[in-house]
């Protein structure tokens, strides 16, 4: 009994109990600070995730609309094909004109000869 009484009343045990009390108080204060910081961060993260979700939904809609625009047989694809054919015909005509002018440089000045007349 005396040994237990001496142990319980020893300065080391008293210091340990005081130290445990201080440590638990510091831990409580740290926990409160962490909660204060995490709360707004959590709200902000939820808001950001919500915004990101809306952006992803809009991106999916935009991609679907683009796919409709460029799919084979769509009006835009048909217009692009028509335009490309016209560009190809124009380039061919320019090549023919250039070849003709290379062969007949005077054609710019004298023009095209009339059928049946020679120059």
How many domains does one find in the chain? 2
8 and 66 both lie in a single domain = yes
Total length of the chain: 119
For residue 90, pLDDT over 90 is answered with: yes
φ/ψ of 73, rounded to 5, equals 90, -5
Hunting for tokens 């831990």 — which residue is that?
27
Residue 42 shares a structural domain with residue 80: no
Model pLDDT, residue 12: 81
What is the torsion angle, in degrees rounded to the nearest 10, for the CA atoms of residue 93, residue 98, residue 103 and residue 109? 100
What digits encode the pLDDT tens for the residues 16-35?
888 888 988 898 899 888 88
Q: What value does the mean pLDDT take over residues 27-47?
A: 82
Considering the domain architecture, whether residues 61 and 77 belong to the same structural domain is answered as: no
Q: If you compute the radius of gyration of the chain from its CA atoms, what whole number of angstroms results?
A: 44
Same domain, 45 and 88: no
Q: Quick check: is 107 in a domain?
A: no
What is the CA angle 44-27-9, rounded to 5?
Answer: 170
Whether 119 has a pLDDT exceeding 60, the answer reads: no
Has this prediction a pTM greater than 0.85? Answer: no
- Owning domain of residue 63: 1-70
pLDDT at residue 85, as a whole number: 96
């Amino acid at each position: 009994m005396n040994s237990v009484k001496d142990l319980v009343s020893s300065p080391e045990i008293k210091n340990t109990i005081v130290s445990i009390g201080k440590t638990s108080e510091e831990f409580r204060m740290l926990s409160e600070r962490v909660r204060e910081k995490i709360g707004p961060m959590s709200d902000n993260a939820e808001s950001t995730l919500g915004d990101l979700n809306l952006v992803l939904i809009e991106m999916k809609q935009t991609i679907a609309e683009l796919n409709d625009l460029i799919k084979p047989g769509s009006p835009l694809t048909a217009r692009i094909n028509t335009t490309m054919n016209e560009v190809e015909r124009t380039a061919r005509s320019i090549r023919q004109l250039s070849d003709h002018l290379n062969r007949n440089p005077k054609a710019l000045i004298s023009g095209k000869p009339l059928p049946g007349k020679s120059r």
